[in-house]
Every structure is written in C-alpha cells, then in structure tokens.
Structure 1
Amino acid sequence: MNLLNKAIQSFWYGHNPLRYLLWPFERLFHSLSSRRRSAFLNGQSPVFHAPVPVIVVGNISVGGTGKTPLTIWLIEALRERGYTPGVVSRGYGGDPDQYPHQVGPADTADKVGDEPLMIYLRSKVPVVIDPDRSSAVQALLKNNAVDVVISDDGLQHYRLARTVELAVVDGQRGFGNENLLPMGPLREPVGRLKEVDAVVINCSAGQALVSRLNDMDAMAPRFQMHLTAGDLVALNKESEQPLGSGSMALQNPGRVQAVAGIGNPQRFFQTLSDLSIQFDPYPFRDHHRYTEQDLSELSRVAMGKNFIVTTEKDAVKLQCFPQVRGAYLPVNAKLQEGLIDVIMARLEDFKLHHSHRY
C-alpha cells in the first residue's frame, strides 16, 4: 500500500486532523451529488425503466464491502426460485473495444474488469459492462433471455430505475469518519440507508457500528452476511501438487505469499490466519492491475518451496502470468434468513404493477 493510500486511510478511518482541510471540497461534492440525484428523482433528467425488475447491489462508501459475493449469492438464490438473472456492471479497470460489451470466455480482466470476469466465470450468467448501466441493461435484454437484472454496484447510478436496492456495509470499517468524499469515504450520507430495501452487514459489526445503526430512525431492515472460505484452487497445473485434494490446507508446510488487491486486504489476511496458513502479506490497492515488475519478487519467492495464495478476484488477473505458482481462496456468502423474502416481495409487486420503486 503506497503512502497516498495510507494517508487516505488515516483521513477516512483514523483521527487525522488534516482531513478538515478537505471540508470545502466535501461541501461541494455534497451539493453537486444532491442536485444530481434530485434531478433524476424529480424527472428533470431521463431515467431508463427496464421491462424487467432490476436489483441494485451497492454501497454508500468507497472501497470493497462485499458487493460481489452478495451478487453471486443472489444469482443462485434467484435461480433456485425459477428466475433467469443477468448482471450489469461498470467494468471498472476494463478497456473493451466498445461499450456495451458482453463478457465472454476469451476475455481478460484487463479488457472487462476483474469483478465482471469473476462473476461470469463463477456463475456462468450473462454479464454486460458499460459505465452507463442503462445502456448495459438494454444490451443485456436484447441479446439474452433474462427476466431479472442485477446491477453489481450502481446505487448512485440514478439513470437506471430500480425495483430493489440492497446496500452493503463493511461490518469492520463501518462508515469511517462519516464524511463525504474527499474528506471521508462516503458517496452519500448515512441517512441514505433509510431509503433502501435492506442493509446487508458484511461480517460481524463492531459495537460502534451497531450503536450508530440503532440510533437511526426508520432504518431499513438489516441482515447479516458472513463470507466462508472454500477449498484452495490452483492457479495453474504447475500449482496443483502442493494442494491437498478437497482441502484448505497446503501439503507443504511453510510460509506462503498472500497477495490481495481488494478493498479491504486485511479481511483476506485474517481469513488466512483463521485457517492457520502462515503467510507474508502483500497488499495492493483495489482493482490493481498486476505487471511483470509487480510479480518479479513474488515469482522469485514462488520458485522455491512456497507459493502465492490470493483472492478469487485477484486470481483472474494473476492467471495470466504462467510463471506464478499458487492458488486462490474462493469465498461464499452466507446470508441471514429473511433477506430473500424481502427481495421476492418486491419482485412479486413488480409482476403486479410493472413499475419500479424509482
């Protein structure tokens, strides 16, 4: 993690008094974002209303909160109830030839972004990327037999009308200093959580976060989400030997190189500790695009008895480097009972009235 990222973290999640120098910019951000949202909600700016229900999985803060694992859980939950879901995403970090672009088996993370590629490879549902989610939805529906759309992120993309809003909150980091960008980590004020259909708290919430949520009037229903680790999966054939069949333990004991380019690398490192895996941590910024230079030191270490253990999100990028030996640790979301009932009630309401919430 570079010095700039460390400084930002100290502003947002620490007690660095220098953050108050950014107060005028926070006020400007709040004014512009509020006007923009009002323009869409009041009909002053055009909004696309899809002919099928749209579920937005988003958050009010910058950085990883667990939206993608929740999206994958939701895909499976909807399939079990007879729906045929598709996914749209901004495709952050990708650079396709043109937008909208439907993710395919030949795509790389450099072309379509790490999260869309991960969703496609894990779930095999159609995934379309476009910074304009409305355009992505139209392309998804035109080319695929889909009866419900999931938007991975996009809570603030008000150009797209939505039937269900799910806001994911990091139970460990909460809302930081509760300031808006750039003074704090929030895209919208905490009060925005009163308007969503459900708040999903990723991992056990700290006492400060629980107290803050309890103090909010007319709070949306809250549901707990826990991420459970699956079995280690080899990055390539050369990496299979150190892995035990169907095991989360490595056959060759010793330290591994833990590589995490996600919103909260410490959560991944804690998971490895819980699994009694010894490691040296290598955190990178979220959505980091790995280069040969990044991996030169890791590759040198991996040629010995130890190798890399990384996240599934990072694996779709690291698999492009055949010299890297290692494995990724997939995680699966476990949701508190009741969330799917909230979602299904909204979908049934859409069937009756053929209208989104807004």
Structure 2
Amino acid sequence: MKKTLARWAQDIWYKDQFIGVWLCPLGFLFCDLVRFRSFLYRLGVLKKQSVPVPVIVVGNITVGGTGKTPFVIWLALLLKEAGYKPGIISRGYGGLSESWPQRVDQNSIAEQVGDEALLLAKQTACPVVVGPVRVDAANLLLAQTDCNVIVSDDGLQHYALARDIEIAVIDGERRFGNGYCLPAGPLREPIDRLQGVDFRIVNGEETEDNEHCMQLIGDSAINLATGQQKSLKDFRAVECHALAGIGNPERFFNLLASVGVSCTTTSFPDHYKFERRDIEFNDDKPVLMTEKDAVKCAAFADAQYWYVPVKAVLEQGFSEQLLNLLKAKNNG
C-alpha cells in the first residue's frame, strides 16, 4: 500500500500536471501556513534557541531524496580536515526508539535510530545524535562530546534551532517538480525560500546562477556478507537485480546503467523497512543496492548481495567559500 501511494504521489508531482492542478487549493493553504509559521519565528512569537557553537543546517525544500546524506558526509569530513570537531544531529527518521534524543554509533541498530543516522555515523566517525526535537539533540551532543561545530541533517524547516549557515540541496534532475507545495506538489516550502539560504547545492545536471554543482561518484560494490570489494564494471558480464528504497531510486539505477550494468530494477519507498522476503528473487543473480539500504539488510543478507557506496564530489572552490563563511561567522 505504501509503495503504491508513494508512486502515485511521485507521478502527480513530477509527471501528471493535471491532478496537481486540482490539488492546488490545498497546496496554496499549505504554503500560507508555512509562511505564517516562518513569520512567527521572525517576529519572535515562536522562539529560536541558540547553542554556543556554530550550526550548519543542511536540508531541502522538496520531499524525497536529493543527495543530502552524501553531502552531509562530505561536509563532516571537510570540517574534520580543516581542524574542526564536527558533530551531527538528525531526525532519526524511521527509528523506533522509545527514548529521544539518542546517541548513534557504528554499532547502533538502524531499526532503532534510522538508516541515514547509522550511515552518517559509519561514514564520518563523528558523534551523531538523533531526535525529533533538534534543540534537544544539539544540547545532548554538546553535553556528551567536545564538538565545536554542529551539522544539522535535514533541518531546514526546523526553525526552533538557530543556525549560522543554511545549505539547500537540490535534485538537479527533478528540480522542484510541478512547483506546487504539498500535497499538490513536492515542495515543503515555497521556492522563494531558497533566496534566504547561504548555498544551493545541485546534485548532478546543470546548475543555474548562485548554485554549486555536486556529483555522486560510485564505481565499486562491496559484499554485505564478506566485505569483498569489486569494481562495478565486473558486473557487466552478468544479469543483476538492483533495488533501492531511497527518495529517487532512478538515480541509483541510472548510475548502474551508466557503467553498463544490466539490471532488473525494484524500487521501494524512502526509508523502507526491509525484510528478507523483500530482497529474495529466487535465483542466483547478484543483487545490488544502495549503502543506505544495506544498513537495514545486512543482518539477513548473504554473499549474493552487494551495496554500491557513493561519494559526493563538489565543484572546485566551494570548500574554500564554505570554510571562509564559517570562519567569518565564528569571528562575528
């Protein structure tokens, strides 16, 4: 049922303009409510809370995947290389823990803390705290670690936490769909919200003015059971299955196709909670999946299953711009 609803919504937002038009009144109402909430924060009726270290918020204004998680990993590693001690806070979407906020480490269980949070902890080796209230997550992070800069993953709409730098990640292929707010379109906030962010990062495709290009690079596969690593090109000689439970599964499938890997594809809703039967295809063909999906499948996967890690590569000069702005905010 969830898979059907997700596909129906995607078709409306990115393909079928007609139904989206009929839902426009609801989209306009959603936009007005979003703008009014933002106005209340600017007015001080709703209070923002500050923390004693710089906060960099990374998010998007659309529902679904834009490549935000690989960018957060890239950003955390950049900050570490520059001498900072970054910590990461996130919603922990899909996590079933009964207590929040909660620390995440490489041994945490995705079902409890969420797939993206576990992936962030594994890839960055930074302290990670998850919870629905970003301020509480930030305070726990500061109480238990010596981090001196916080990266808030998917925190663009969480105005209660004051921030120093805002970064919006945009899907370069799908952009903003039909341009309508929920439920008529994929927008969480009106497009003019982007005028207030410090940086706009576009995942693939061509960029427009005031946007920075990011490419996701993946050329190898790692076995879930054995840890063996192979070049993706080695899979061109065999028929494969490919599955993805991310915001834009087609981006992963296109990556495989771009290196000549022929796959039968199966897509699932973002943050899908996989079970063994979901990834069984009753044959011996290799099964390729994203790294985000792999953290949820590792417990029941065997040597037939492989994940494809991707790395964000930013255009030349962006790192310096970001670090200079952070330095200026620190000295301000």
The answer to whether the superposition gives a TM-score over 0.5 is: yes
C-alpha contact 2:235 2:261 (8 A) present in aligned 1: no
| CA–CA separation in structure 2 for the residues paired with 1:351 and 1:278 | 49
- Does 1:260 pair with 2:261? no
Provide, for residues 12-38 of structure 1, a one-character-per-residue CA deviation record: whole Å limited to 9, x for no partner: 111331222322211221121111111
Partner residue, 2:54: 53
Partner residue, 2:108: 107
User: Which ranges in structure 2 are unaligned for 5 or more consecutive residues?
Assistant: none
Partner residue, 2:200: 199
- Does 1:223 pair with 2:202? no
| CA–CA separation in structure 2 for the residues paired with 1:164 and 1:328 | 33
- Does 1:281 pair with 2:260? no
Q: CA deviation at 1:109?
A: 1.1
C-alpha contact 1:257 1:308 (8 A) present in aligned 2: yes
Provide, for residues 199-251 of structure 1, a one-character-per-residue CA deviation record: whole Å limited to 9, x for no partner: 1010013xxxx6xx55xxxxxx31100011142111012x74xx54xx33337
User: Which ranges in structure 1 are unaligned for 5 or more consecutive residues?
Assistant: 215-220, 354-358
Provide, for residues 145-182 of structure 1, a one-character-per-residue CA deviation record: whole Å limited to 9, x for no partner: 10100011110100011111111111100111110011
Report the identity percentage: 39
Provide, for residues 298-356 of structure 1, a one-character-per-residue CA deviation record: whole Å limited to 9, x for no partner: 3x22xx2x221110111101102144621111111110123223322322222223xxx
Q: CA deviation at 1:253?
A: 3.1
| CA–CA separation in structure 2 for the residues paired with 1:75 and 1:251 | 32
| CA–CA separation in structure 1 for the residues paired with 2:310 and 2:273 | 21
C-alpha contact 2:275 2:297 (8 A) present in aligned 1: no
Normalised by the length of structure 1, the TM-score is 0.88
Question: Counterpart of 1:264 in structure 2: which amino acid?
Answer: N
- Give RMSD over aligned pairs: 1.8
Partner residue, 2:321: 342
Partner residue, 1:173: 174
Which deviates the most, 344-353 or 136-145?
Answer: 344-353
C-alpha contact 2:118 2:295 (8 A) present in aligned 1: yes
Secondary structure of the structure 1 residue equivalent to 2:19:
helix
Find runs of 4+ consecutive structure 1 residues off by over 4 angstroms: none
| CA–CA separation in structure 1 for the residues paired with 2:217 and 2:311 | 5
Secondary structure of the structure 2 residue equivalent to 1:200:
strand
Q: CA deviation at 1:252?
A: 8.8
Partner residue, 2:38: 37
Partner residue, 1:290: 274
| CA–CA separation in structure 2 for the residues paired with 1:124 and 1:29 | 38
C-alpha contact 1:198 1:339 (8 A) present in aligned 2: no
Secondary structure of the structure 1 residue equivalent to 2:313:
strand
| CA–CA separation in structure 2 for the residues paired with 1:166 and 1:252 | 37
| CA–CA separation in structure 1 for the residues paired with 2:275 and 2:112 | 15
| CA–CA separation in structure 2 for the residues paired with 1:41 and 1:62 | 24
